[in-house]
Structure 1
Amino acid sequence: MYKILGHHHISMITKNAQVNNQFYEKVLGLRRVKKTVNQDSPTMYHLFYGDLTGSAGTELSFFEITNAGRTVYGTNAITQIGLLVPSFESLIYWKERFEQFDVTHGEITTYAGRAALPFEDSEGLRLILLNNEDAEIPKFWSAWEDSAVEKKHRILGMGTTEITVRYLERTAKTLRELFGYVEVVHSEEEAIYQSIEGQVFGEIVLKQQEGPSEKPGRGSIHHLAIRAKNEEELKYWEGVVKERGFDSSGVVDRYYFQSLYFRDSNGILFEIATDGPGFTRDSTVEALGGKLDLPPFLEEKRAEIEEKLQPLD
């Protein structure tokens, strides 16, 4: 029986890649590890931010859709991203930093049993910093030493991700019975699941909420990707998803990783993605994120693609 190893990445919609790049690199101090395009619609940027190499579990990715409207919040959506920071003192540091950069934020509070600081990016994407409390993180996460953020307070990687659904037990059943997530909290309106018991880097909070489904726009979350070690494991999960009666994309070659997509019974889009080959497949570590990288099947269209993209830097 294979185990889901934690979060892989999470993908969002931005209206303006330049503004997005400024916020995630200069304010949050993440590294832009890959500047590429949406492989299904190569006229739009696909940007990845993360640690030194964009390790699985640290990646925030954004599709630039320049005509994206505003998000109309609702249910049946991924509604908040947790990011781990080293300590409670880090939350104080970030609160002061958010005030310095005029970032919308709340007060230090408690979320999923941890000290936390909620905030939003300039497009209303909801995020929350979580005190990791010196808990274990994946050994392959590597800090980016050129970050604008003080070393002892830098964002480590992804933590608790929040999903809001109309029928909580439907998604809970998918996590529990299909993927083997461990239930650590369960009430009528909220449940917490972990891919590896005791580890927050694979934690999902489910919240039940009635009403209309969210209408996605700028600042909305498109999908959550969870980790499979390699293509062998991914093919195993393809079979499991099919046995449960879900339609899937089948295995898709994304060049930097292999992927499988499906929607659960609440319409939540999940991706299962392999850890490798990784973003250094076509770049040195030092050069990551500096130029436009394209998978081989798009390389012959480079001139046409570059002509339609606005410079980021």
Structure 2
Amino acid sequence: MSAITGIHHVTAISGSAKRNFDFYTRVMGLRFVKKTVNFDDPNTYHFYYGDETGSPGTILTFFPWEDIMAGRRGTHMATEIGYAVPDGSLDFWLKRFEKENIIYNKPSSKFGEVYLTFLDPDGLKIELTVPEFPDNREPWETAEIKDEHALRGFHHVTLTLDDIQPTADLLVSVFGYELKKNHTNRYRFAGPDGEKGGYIDLVEAKGEMRGHVAGGSVHHVAFRVPDEAAQEHFRKILEDRGLHITSQLDRKYFKSVYFREPGGVLFELATDTPGFTVDEPKEQLGQHLMLPPQFESQRSEIEKKLIKLD
């Protein structure tokens, strides 16, 4: 069945690789699923964080560039990443952010759900949301962050746009999403899997300054397709709509196609397969530098240039 079932992963840009690694593994308690390199710049890492196996819908990835300039939130970009957390866990996170000197806002409410906003060390805006319906996904646990507090996976991603209508039309007529809720200038869309797939929030901000994607910004948002046949089905539909979409690219852990949606945000369609255990057993995920085959012959040179994480 050809269907887009929700958010596959979100990729962002950071500065210091070491600081990024420490924050997401230690402070936020995500599993370091894969340590590899940027396909276009093998002297730079590509980090993947998620649940035990890096399940689609839990994967946050980063391109860390040590001297990257700071980005600026604005229109034509993804501006917030939302994670689902258990009911009763926000006090834990408030105390943890205080201890770690993390910038945050006091909990508030949106669409009847309580959420806590904070900034990661590079200024990436993230929200921890207690969802209306309990999220039963099994989280990754650490010595400091157990099941009752741990991040479940994506709850939503927010796109800030000058005009939401062209993007909303794409979500509804091609991706099979449906408008579920609206408050002032925020519109919440759910895919065929409902809240399980992660919501897409569109915020209309006419006349606001255009954002700049750099450090502390979302680079692209990837949506799930079950296999290559479904991916090709949607690729042809998008191409017929006049959108410039790439041919399929092999990202080793999934196959990808990329295009800019009408509001200017870079979207990806990523297959659920083969997954992150294709080159490492589940028990060893994230423990070794895994290189794409085309860079394996350069391993010694690449390893010398990459920042040590410990």
Partner in structure 2 of residue 15 of structure 1: 15
The residue number in structure 2 matching 1:215 is 212
The one-letter code matched in structure 2 to 1:51 is D
List aligned pairs for 1:217-296, cutoff 5 A: 217-296=214-293
8 A Cα contact 2:89 2:148, kept in partner: yes
TM-score normalised by L of structure 1: 0.94
Per-residue CA deviations over 1:239-280 (Å, capped at 9, x if unaligned) read: 111111100111111010000100011211000101111111
C-alpha separation in 1, matches of 2:193 and 2:138: 23
What is the identity, as a one-letter code, of the residue corresponding to 1:113? G
Instruction: Answer yes or no: is the 8 Å Cα contact 1:30–1:147 preserved in 2.
Output: no
Counterpart in the other structure of 2:83: 83
Match of 1:201 among 197, 202, 225: 197
Q: Does structure 1 conserve the Cα–Cα contact (< 8 Å) formed by 2:86 and 2:135?
A: no
User: Are 1:26 and 2:26 an aligned pair?
Assistant: yes
Counterpart of 1:176? 172
- Cα pair 1:31 1:147 within 8 Å, conserved: no
Q: RMSD of the alignment, in Å? A: 1.6
Q: CA shift at 1:189, angstroms?
A: 2.5
Q: Compute the displacement of 1:143 (Å).
A: 2.9
Q: CA deviation at 1:142?
A: 4.1
Alignment deviations for residues 257-306 of structure 1 (CA, whole Å, 9 cap, x no partner): 00010001121100010111111100011111011001222211211211
- Determine if contact 1:38/1:45 at 8 Å carries over to the other structure: yes
The answer on whether the counterparts of 1:86 and 1:133 sit within 8 Å (CA) in structure 2 is no
TM-score (norm 2): 0.95
SS at match of 1:95: helix
Q: 5 Å matches for 1:49-128?
A: 49-87=49-87, 89-128=88-127
State the alpha-carbon separation in 1 of the partners of residues 141 and 189 from structure 2.
32
1:3 and 1:195 in contact (8 A); partners too? no
Evaluate the alpha carbon distance shift between residue 301 and residue 162 of structure 1 in structure 2; reply closer, same or farther with a 3 A threshold. Answer: same
Any gaps of 5 or more consecutive residues in structure 1? none
Deviation at 1:158, TM superposition (A): 0.7
Q: Does 1:165 align with 2:161?
A: yes
With over 3 angstroms needed to count, the CA separation of the structure-2 counterparts of 1:144 and 1:56, relative to structure 1, is: same
Matches of 1:166 and 1:97 in 2, distance apart? 36
Relative to structure 2, which stretch is displaced further, 292-301 or 223-232? 292-301
CA distance in 1, matches of 2:176, 2:247: 21
CA distance in structure 2 between the aligned counterparts of 1:312 and 1:249, rounded to whole angstroms = 34
Displacement of 1:223 in angstroms is 0.4
Say if 1:4 and 1:113 are closer, same or farther in 2 by CA, change over 3 A. farther
Aligned mates of 2:93, 2:236 — CA distance in 1 = 43
Q: State the AA in 2 paired with 1:194.
A: A
Question: What letter is aligned with 2:106?
Answer: E
Give the CA deviation at 1:225.
0.4
The 1:218–1:234 alpha-carbon spacing in structure 2 relative to 1, beyond 3 Å, is: same
Aligned-partner residue type, residue 278 of structure 1: G
Identical amino acids, percent of aligned pairs: 38
